[in-house]
Structures are given as structure tokens and as C-alpha cells.
Structure 1
Amino acid sequence: MRRLLPSLLPGLVLTLAAPWAPVVLASGAPAEARAAGKIQSDLTGWTGEQLVDGRTAGTVVRRGRVFLKSPVTTTRVDGTTYDVGRWVSRWARPGFGFTELVASWEAKTPGDSMIEVEVRGRDASGRKSSWDSLGRWAYGDRYSERTSLGSQDDDLARVATDTWRTASSAGLERWRLRVSLLRRTGASTKPPSVGHVAATTSRRPSSSPATSKPGKVARAGGAVLDVPRYSQMVHQGHYPQWGNGGEAWCSPTSVSMVLGYYDALPKEKDYAWVPEGHAAPWVDHAARSTFDHGYDGTGNWSFNVAYAARLVGRADVSRLPDLRAVERLVADGVPVIVSIAFGSGELSGAPISASNGHLLVVVGFTADGDVVVNDPAADSPAGVRRTYDRGQLERAWLDASTGTAYVLRD
């Protein structure tokens, strides 16, 4: 990606191919990564004026955004006809055979408009996959339901909610994204637009990913960022149509904590529909705004960073190799949301005994290298701040999600 992690990750290479080309954050040599038991990952994207590098059809790049201009076709969505224009990226090559891909974007969808993001891949022989949809998305839900669109398991890859997975363990060599911008036919509202689109590709090592020793923050004596503390559990029973709060809302609650850190929470008028007396009503807003009607939950990684990007300015799903990479982000003032899973006894001090999928915010590190977190699974905000054993948390993160992280920047 353009500049997401400048000089932060040892063993990663930041390359700017040309003034108009995307900046690519790529992993080191594949053989070295496999030998070290490291996750291979690459984050490539286009933002602002870099979007002129893509191919347009019925769209125009203006002021660093792709706008719907002169539609090239129409489509029907839930009984409504929409005008459609498209932007297609160049082929991206991460430098290893990737087996998973997760997309990120920042878009504006005024009125009855939306975007759809699709991916296509190519293997080492040159064979191309079909275009697979990673979802239809709009910031609001007045006119349409944001949704993932099923597995589409037909050739070289399939979709698992937010993650595109290859059929072959050899993986794919290249990928490209296609963004369709849709507005209801006949509507006079402003057109939808996109200011950033990216994808993280990754490949797991043949063995369990290696854990890390304490790094930059620990050596400096430890540090903790002043991230506000919100509990998902105080929302138990809220809005059954958007997940019913409680254990289902770890992702939007974590996103809200980081938005609060950046003073980028939604405006009060945006969540005025939440009854008076609800604790942290902006969390209810985040849950509604990230809910995936196809998945039937608020945990879609891409939808969560798309929501955050509309408020904070820059947000991506990334895959990081270890906690030392997270330490460098924390040292740069950036809290990191990580996706974990753990069984009974595998994460000492956690407010829940086990989870097959949970998100929390890494806010700092102790001088010993242990991890200071805001864990939204606590019963109340007072119990959200916790310290977890470094090895336990790192294993719960790397093994469960291949180092998946939301990186939000203002």
C-alpha cells in the first residue's frame, strides 16, 4: 500500500514503481520467509491521484477520487435498477504464490447508491479466474443492504465472507480489483465515489507462524496509548436485526475505540435514533453500519475498515508477521485491532474463557514485552484494559487469522 507502514516492518520492502503507480508493501524473499516460519504478506493499493493508473468505464478520476460519470450499463439489485460505471486496477503481483486476499476501500455513497468490489486472479500458467464479488457496500442502509454474496466456488478461488481463498495450495501469482459504482437510475443525487482501494494478500508458512521476542516499545521501557475503553457486553440485547449486541459486537466496538482515540467518532446526529440512556451509542451506530446481511453479522473485516475509513481517513485490513510489527505501529502512535481465536486456558486473564473469533485493540506493551489491550469482551468499560502474555496472544492471533489486523490512521 502507498505509505501505510513506512519503514516499520523489518524484512518488508516498500517500493514506488513510478510516480503514477501504487506503492507496494511487499514481504521479503519467499524462501527466506518460509524458512523462518514467517507469514508472507503484501498490501498493494491505489489512493488519491494514483487511481488514474486504473482503467475507467463510465467513471472519471477527479480530485483524487473515482466518480460515476456516464454509466456503461445498468443492473438490477433487489428489484431496483441502477446505472453502473467501473474502475479496474492493473494486475498486481505480490512476489509469492498467495492463497488468501482481503480487500479494503474508502467510498462515498450518497442517496441511493453503492459500490461493488470484485477480484480476479491469475495463476503461474496464465490461467485467469472468474470475477468474484467481495460484496456490495454502502455507508448507510436506508436504500440497500450491504452484503457479501456467497462463496462463488467455481474455478481458481472461492469467497469466505470477506476473504478470497485459492483452490490450489500453490496459490495465485497476480490479482486485480474491479470496483463498480452504482446509482439508482434517474436519481439526481451526487454520484458515488471511491478514494482508495487496496488488497492484502498472504501465504501461511508450512509450520505454525513463528512468534517474536520483545521489540522497540519494550526495550524503551513500555508504552500505552490513551485509547478509550468500551464494552461490547453492555450492548447485550440491542438491535437483534444487527446482531443483538453482546458477544456479536467485538469488531464494531474495537473500531469505535480506535475512532474515539482519533476523535473521529460519528456525530451525535448520526446516532440520534439510538434511545437515550444507551451506553456508548456510537457503538450501536458502528454495529448497524458494519452489519453484513449475507453473513448475518458485524464481523466482516472489509466492511469494518470501510466504515472506519469514512470517518478517520485511512483504514486497511492488513496481515502483519508478528507482534514486533505491532510494536512499531504503537511506537508511531497507532493502536492496532487484531483478530484472534483461543481455547480454554490459552489466553490467561481474558474476560471470556474461549472464542472461535474475537477482535480487540492492542494499545501498548510492558517493559517485559507483554501486550496491553482494550478487550471489548469485558462486562463493563472498567474491565476493558488488560495485559496478556505476549506468547499466548501472539499465538492466538497468528494461528487464527494469519496476523489479520485493522490499521486505522488519521
Structure 2
Amino acid sequence: MTSSRLTEFHAWAAHPRQGWEAFCAGRWDSTGPRDFSDPFVDETDGSVVRGQSPPVRYETTTWTSPWHRPPFASQEVIVSFNATTPGHSWIEVQIQVTTRQTETTGTVAAERTALEPSCPSRWFTMARWCQELPNPRDPDQGGAIHRAGVDGQADQNARVDTDTLFAAEGRAVTAYRLRAVLLYPRGAPERPAITLLGAAATSLPRDAPVEAPGDTGPAGSTDPTSPAGPAAGLELAVRPLSQMVHRGVSPQYGGGGESWCSPTSVAMAMGYHGVIDPVDAVVPQTARGTWDHAYRGAGNWAFSAAHAAAHGLEAFVTRLPDLRALEEFIVAGIPVVVSASFRAAELDGAGYSTDGHLMLVTGFTASGDVIVNDPASHEEPSDEHVRTVYRRDQFERVWLNGSRGVVYIIAPPGTPLPPHPDRRSQA
């Protein structure tokens, strides 16, 4: 099946690719001092709780992008970024959108462009982020803040849920601009740097959503499965890692490895690209490095990409329309992290159900089925059970219906990407 939505990834970067813009397209401003109190504090048992740390005065520099207008009205926007934060520096990533009312005729959502002027939103904070977490035992060696999203952000235009901005009911995003605030203590020699800031926009649905259970077509749908493409018979040699090996490890991070599908998938991708040693010990480190203290999870999509980028890779979050588009990344030598949700009966061989799960696609069989390093390991604590083959039709369905095609693209800087990584498709 091919997605019934349009997608676009647009970015500003220190080293822009085709279709991206350079940071010189935006505006840098010295925005003066800012006092900030970290809303999280460390406890003596190693846990982190909501509290009020003493305020620290930071100097700030702000970069603001120009307005970008996707070629369609958007229902969702996912922001991702690459940055480094030495010393006690950190960054805040924000988005502002314009919206218009929408109307629905049958199953087709359309922008009601003639009835009202564009309406700008507030600035929404998508991330407060630093590479290293604070070290209560040795503050000089730790980071500045506990990285986190910001809860409870909404206005008449949109709302934020962890890592995604959603247009308010009855509205659609028509344009957005991004802002990065770089913060560093007064007098400190270290400065944060941002090398990529981008957003994946997703259109309103153009057809009625596919019903999951009870249908008789492939994977519960009569929609055709995308045909096998150039990656058929190709598999990348990615060292498998199991999240289940770490059950109960570091329970302050989501109860341990049982919840670490995203960091385990990221660790496998990072290991494949040679920036870390792909052994089991890196999984808890990656969980800590991607942890969102507001969300209380290691599955924040933007934080996952930012962690990989902080180790010298280039990474961003986007959506793809189908497995045929994903195959192009395998051909380019890039394993792809995908987000899916399913019941056990919807994905033969999985052996478990999930409301949200991250896996690493490493290749395709000769017939086009999907070769996956599934960190849930069929719920067995063994790296030997991680490599799995899933039916193409079933996998495509649970991925596109579960997250509408969300992927992490993680690669060394300068790696050639497929010509259209933000490929737009229409069912």
C-alpha cells in the first residue's frame, strides 16, 4: 500500500543537500541574557524528578529561518535537528506556524483558503536539548540541563505532543518557520553549534483511513502493496542488538531495556556506520543519551536523531510513502529505522503486540519481503533472534498505518541520499 498522504522534508543546514537551504538564508541575532531554571532535579537514588533547580544566567544567540510553505496543507509537522553542546551549553528548538481553516467534503480534506487570512501561532518549544545530562556528583563533567520536551503547549492553531506538532481540529498548517536558541553561561568558553534544522510536514488525508482488522485483502487492506524494487535480494551487514538483553537495567530509564526499542535501533545504525562499537553495552548508553525527561521515555523521534548526529553522523526524521521509497536508502547503504504499531496477528512471526515500536530495516529478500533487525527479539533476551523477515504487505501496512511512514535517516555526512528522500506520493 502507498500512503494516502503527501510528505515533504525541508531543512536548513551548515552543509545543505539538494533541496535544502543554507543557514545564511535565515537570520542570526544576539538576543542577550536569559535566566533559566531547569524544571528537573536529580535525586540521590539516581532518579530525576520534577523540581526547580537554581536559576542560571545564560547568554543567547538565536537563528530564525525564513518562512517555508510546503506544497500542501499539513496536518502534522515533526522537527529534527543536529547540534553539539560542549560544556554547559545547550539549545532550544522552536517552531511557529500559520494555519487556515479546513473543510471536509466526503473523505477529502481541503483547505478553505478564501475565507480567512493566514493566522500565525505562538512559538512552540519542541526541544530543550544537550548532549550530556547533568552529573550531580561532578557538575563540571556533566551537561547543563535535563533534556526534555515541553508539556501542555497549545493555541487556536496547533498543539504539541512530545515530538510532533499537530494542527488544531478544523485547521491545517500552511507555513512554518523554525528557530534555534543557543545558550551558554556568561563567560564560558564553550559555545553550542547547530548544523541541521529541518521539519517533515505531512498533508491532510486524501482518502478515508484504512480500517485495520477484519478486511480480507493483504495485511487487512485491499490497497496494493508496493512492488519490490532495486533492493530485492540486498541485505546490509548490521550487527543485531536486543533490547530484551537489558530488561531491568537502569530502571530509572523507563524500567529498563524492555522499553528501549528506539535507542537499540539507533545504536545498531550507529554501529553500522562505525561511530560506536556495536556491542550490547552501548544500548543503555544510547537510552540515556536519547532520554526525554518530560516524556519519560527514550523514544522521542527528534532526540534519537540528535543523539546519532552528536556522534558525528547526519540524522533527521521524515516520512516515506512506501517500502519502494525505503528500498532506495538500502541501495545507498543506509539502514533505516522505522516506527510501527500492530497486534501480533497483523505481523506474522513477531509474536507480540505493540502500540508503538522501532525497528531497523536492513534489507529485502529476493521476493521483496522485509529483513529487519527487530530489537524486541520476539521478546527473547538474545541477539541471535533479532534478525527477522516480515511479509512485505504486512510490514508496509503496520508501518504506514502505525506512524504514517515515520523513519530515522542516519548516515555519515556527505553520504549520497536517494534523489528525492522527501518523495511525495498520492494514492
Tell me, yes or no, whether TM beats 0.5: yes
* Contact 1:110 1:189 (C-alpha < 8 Å) held by counterparts: no
Paired residues, number = 348
The TM-score, its normalising length taken from structure 2, stands at: 0.78
How far has the Cα of 1:170 moved from its partner? 4.2
Aligned to 1:7: none
The structural deviation recorded for 1:172 is: 1.2
Structure 2 partner of 1:136: 128
Match of 1:399 among 393, 401, 419: 401
1:8-407, aligned counterparts within 5 Å? 38-48=4-14, 50-58=22-30, 71-78=31-38, 79-124=55-100, 125-142=117-134, 143-186=144-187, 188-203=188-203, 204-208=205-209, 212-217=225-230, 221-265=232-276, 280-350=280-350, 352-378=351-377, 379=380, 380-407=382-409
- The letter of the residue matching 2:386 is V
Cα–Cα, structure 1 residues 132 and 211, in superposed 2: closer, same or farther, change >3 Å? farther
- Equivalent AA in structure 2 for residue 180 of structure 1: V
Alignment match, 2:139 = none
Question: 1:256 is aligned with what amino acid?
Answer: A
Say whether the 8 Å CA contact 1:75–1:84 is kept in structure 2: no
Q: Distance in 2 between matches of 1:176 and 1:306?
A: 19
Task: Please give the per-residue CA displacement for 1:201-247, whole angstroms capped at 9, x wherever unaligned.
Answer: 102433337553323236xx511110110000001111122223222
RMSD, aligned CA = 1.7
> 1:24 is matched with which residue?
none
What amino acid does structure 2 have at the position aligned with 1:215? Answer: A
Higher mean Cα deviation, 168-177 or 39-48? 168-177
2: distance between equivalents of 1:165 and 1:76? Answer: 27
* 2:43 corresponds to: none
How far off its partner does 1:130 sit? 0.5
Contact 1:305 1:315 in 2 (8 A): yes
1:46 and 1:213 mapped to 2: Cα distance?
Answer: 31
Q: Percent identity?
A: 39
Q: Which is worse superposed, 120-129 or 379-388?
A: 120-129
CA distance in 1: counterparts of 2:28 and 2:79, whole angstroms: 19
CA separation in 2, counterparts of 1:249 and 1:165? 25
SS of equivalent to 2:240: coil
Asked if the contact 1:211/1:394 (under 8 Å) is kept, the reply is no
Aligned amino acid, residue 291 of structure 1: W
Q: CA deviation at 1:266?
A: 6.8
Q: CA deviation at 1:77?
A: 2.5
Runs of 4+ in 1 over 3 A off after TM superposition: 208-212
1:168, distance to aligned residue in structure 2 (A): 3.5
Residue 347 of structure 1 aligns with an amino acid whose one-letter code is L
Q: Please list every run of 5 or more consecutive structure 2 residues that lacks an aligned counterpart in the other structure.
A: 16-21, 39-54, 101-116, 135-143, 211-222, 413-427
Q: Quick check: 1:56–1:87 contact (8 Å CA) kept in 2?
A: yes
Distance 1:266 1:148, change over 3 A: farther
Say which SS state the counterpart of residue 303 (structure 1) adopts: helix
Structure with higher helix content: 1
Aligned to 1:345, the other structure's residue is in SS state helix
Structure 1: gaps (5+ residues): 1-35, 59-70, 268-278
Distance, in Å, in 2 between the alignment partners of 1:54 and 1:177 is 9
What is the CA-CA distance between 1:333 and the residue it aligns to?
Answer: 1.1
CA-CA distance at 1:312 after TM superposition = 4.1
Match of 2:220 in 1: none
Conserved 8 A contact 1:94-1:173: yes
SS at match of 1:372: strand
Measured in 2, the distance between the counterparts of 1:237 and 1:37 equals 38
TM-score by length of 1: 0.81
Greater RCO structure (CA 8 Å; 6+ sep): 2
Partners of 2:206 and 2:37 in 1: CA distance: 40
CA distance in 2, matches of 1:297, 1:167: 25
How far is 1:40 from its partner?
A: 0.7
How far residue 185 of structure 1 moved from its aligned partner, in angstroms, is 2.9
- Deviation per CA, 1:314-373: give whole Å up to 9, x if none: 1010100001011111111111100000013111101x4200000000111112111000
